[in-house]
Amino acid sequence: MNKISNECNNILDNHKRTLTIMRISLFFLFIGILSSQAMNSFSQETKFTFNLKSIAIKEVCNEIEKKSDFRFVFSSDARKITNQKISLNVDSETINNILDIILSNTNLTYNIIDNQVAIFKDANKKPATEKTIPDEIIQPEKKKVTGKITDKNGESIIGANIIEKGTGNGTVTDIDGSFTLNVAPNALLQVSYIGYLTQEVSVAGKTSFRIVMQEDNQTLQDVVVTGYQVIDQKLFTGAANKVKMDDIKISGESDLSKVLEGRVAGVSVQNVSSTFGTAPKIKIRGSSSIYGYEKPLWVIDGVVLEDAIEVSMDQLNTGDLSTLISSGVAGLNMDDIESMQILKDVSATALYGARAMNGVIVIQTKKGRAGTLNINYSGNFTTRAVPSYSDFNILNSQEQMSVNRELYEKGWINVARTQFESIHGPFGKMFDRIKDKEINWVGTNDEMNAFLRKYETANTDWFDLLFQPGLMQQHTLSFSGGSDKASFYTSLGYLNDEGWTIADKMGRYTALMKGTYKITDKFTVVTTGNISYRDQQLSGVSNVSGDIGGVNRYTGKIERNFDNNPFMYALTTSRAIRPYDENGELEFFRRNFVDYNIVDELSKNKTFVTVRDMSFITDLNYDIRKDLSVSGKLSVRYFNSKRERMIHEKSNEANAYRAGMRDTDNEIIKDQNPFLYERPGSTTGEKYSILPEGGMLNSIDNIMTNYYFTGNVNWNPVFRNDHRFTFLLGSEIRYIDRVESFNDGYGHFFDYGNVSKPSQNYLEYLEMKGESYFGKNYGYDRFAAFFFNYGYSYLGKYILNGTSRLDGSNRLGKSATARWLPTWNIGGKWLMGEEDFIKNIRWIDALNLRVSYGLNATLGAVSNATDLFYTGKSYRPLHPSASELSMRLYDLENRDLTWEKQYEFNVGLDAAFLSNRIVTEFNVYNRRGFDLIGLYYSNGVGGQILKTGNVADMNSHGVEFSINTTPVKSPDFKWDLGFNYAHNKNKITALNSNAWVSRAVSVFGIPVLYGPVRGIYSTRFAGLDNKGVPTFYDKDDNVVHYLDVQTSDLSNLVFSGNLEPSTHIGINNIFSYKGFTFSCLFTGQFGHKKRVMQNFNYYYTDHQALSAHMKNRWRMAGDEKKTNIPAIYDMTELMKHPEMYKIATAYNLYGMSDVWLADASFIRLKNIGFSYRLPQSWLQSLKIKQASLSLQGSNLALLWVADKKKLGGEDPEFVWSGGTTMPITKQYTFTLNIGF
Listing DSSP states for 1159-1179 in one string gives E--EEEEEEEEEEEEPPHHHH
Residue ranges per domain, the chain? 43-214, 218-367
Q: What is the CATH number of domain 218-367?
A: 2.170.130.10
Q: Residue 41: its pLDDT value, please?
A: 40
DSSP notation for 91-156: EEE-HHHHHHHHTTTSSEEEEEETTEEEEEE-TT---S-STTSPPPPPPPP-EEEEEEEE-TTS-B
Cα gap 323→874, rounded to integer Å: 32
Q: Which residues pair with 482 in a beta bridge?
A: 371, 487
SS3 content of the chain, % helix, strand, coil (to 5): 20, 45, 35
Q: From CA 953, how far away is CA 652, in angstroms rounded?
A: 48
d(Cα 457, Cα 181) in Å, to the nearest integer? 82
Per-residue pLDDT, 308? 87
Cα gap 1174→1172, rounded to integer Å: 6
Q: How far is CA 1041 from CA 384, 856, 1030, 1146, in A?
A: 46, 49, 7, 5
Rounded CA separation 577/1227 (Å): 29
Q: Which amino acid is at 13?
A: D
767 and 883 in contact (C-beta within 8 Å)?
yes
pLDDT at residue 27, rounded to an integer = 43
In 3-state terms, what secondary structure has residue 1071? strand
Query: Could you give phi then psi for residue 667, rounded to 5 degrees?
Result: -70, -25
Specify the pairing of strand 108-113 against strand 188-192: unpaired
- Low-confidence residues of the chain: pLDDT under 70: 1-45, 113-114, 123, 126-141, 153, 158-159, 168, 175, 194-195, 215-223, 227, 443, 546-549, 681, 683, 814-815, 861-891, 895, 940-943
Tell me phi and psi for residue 146, to 5 degrees. Answer: -130, 160
CA 841 to chain centre: 44
d(CA 153, CA 1171): 12
Residue count of the chain: 1236
**What's the pLDDT at 26?**
41
Query: How many angstroms separate the CA atoms of 366 and 901, rounded?
Result: 35
762-795 in b/e burial notation, b at 16+ Cβ within 10 A? bbbbbbbbbeebeeeeeeebebebebbbbbbbee
Give me the residues paired with residue 987 across strands: 955
* Axis-axis angle for helices 397-409, 426-435 (nearest 10): 50
- 1119, 1105 contact by CB (below 8 A): no
> What's the whole-model pTM score?
0.83
Burial of 446 (0-12, 13-18, 19+ CB in 10 A): exposed
Cβ count near 44 (within 10 Å): 15
CATH superfamily, region 43-214: Carboxypeptidase-like, regulatory domain (2.60.40.1120)
